Amino acid sequence: MIIKFNLLKLQKKEEPVVIEKRITFIKVYLVLLALTLAGIVGAFFYYQIEIKNLEKEKVEKEQKLKEYQLLAQKVKQLEEENEEIKKRITTILSLKKLQGQKLRVIDSLFASIGNNKILFNNLNLESSKASFKALSVDLEYIANYLNTLENNKELFKYVELKRTVQQKKGVLNYIEFETEVGF
């Protein structure tokens, strides 16, 4: 018996194999193309929704910004009103402090006369000083009166004798003097 060995390779038909490879390549290509298009469409819708959300957020933040700007204006206005009220309070307190000061000055001017024989002719009262003209029969009365005023340091800052003139009317001799006191 004879045994034959065929050492040649069998040739296969390549055409049917090639068609299957092309079909699988086209299927894979179409699937990838479909996935890519689906991804593009999905991304488009996702970004459209994201844009709408961001626009809503922008509108909300602009509204909050307007509210905060109005609030800042109100705060600024309240601070200005607060400063104005502080000024009014300090003015009222200073006026209240000075309210009775002129009356105390006048009272002190007349109370300081005491036993001294002095007669006021003219009294001029200003915001921080008072000047007056008066008559007396003796220089000693004038000196005592001015010393009494000078000793009242809490009310008067200074006492200044401006001028003295000795006059005579008939038998009566008197001294006219002018004084300024600061308070």
Same domain, 23 and 93: yes
- As beta bridge partners, residue 131 has 124, 180
Same domain, 111 and 171: yes
pLDDT given for residue 32 in this prediction: 92
Q: What is the DSSP letter of 12?
A: P
Q: Name the strand (E) or helix (H) holding 148.
A: helix 139-151
Measuring CA to CA, which residue among 160, 157, 142, 141 is closest to residue 105? 157
Same domain, 173 and 156: yes
CATH number at 150 reads 3.30.1360.100
Number of domains present in the structure of the chain: 2
Residue 68 counted as domain residue: yes
What single-letter amino acid sits at 172? L
CA 32 to chain CA centroid, nearest Å? 67
Same domain, 94 and 108: no
Among residues 99, 115, 149, the one where a domain terminates is: 99
CA angle 52, 54, 55 (to 5 degrees): 65
CA distance 106 to 40: 98
Place of tokens 């002190």: 108
Same domain, 73 and 140: no
Among residues 48, 66, 99, the one where a domain terminates is: 99
Place of tokens 């626009």: 55
Residue numbers of the domain that contains 66: 16-99
Among residues 99, 114, 146, the one where a domain terminates is: 99
Same domain, 57 and 110: no
Render each residue's pLDDT in the chain as its tens digit; 183 residues: 677 766 666 666 555 544 555 677 888 889 999 999 999 999 999 999 999 999 999 999 999 999 999 999 999 999 999 999 999 999 888 877 777 666 676 667 666 676 667 877 888 878 788 888 888 888 888 888 888 888 887 878 888 888 888 888 878 888 898 999 887
Residue 3 counted as domain residue: no
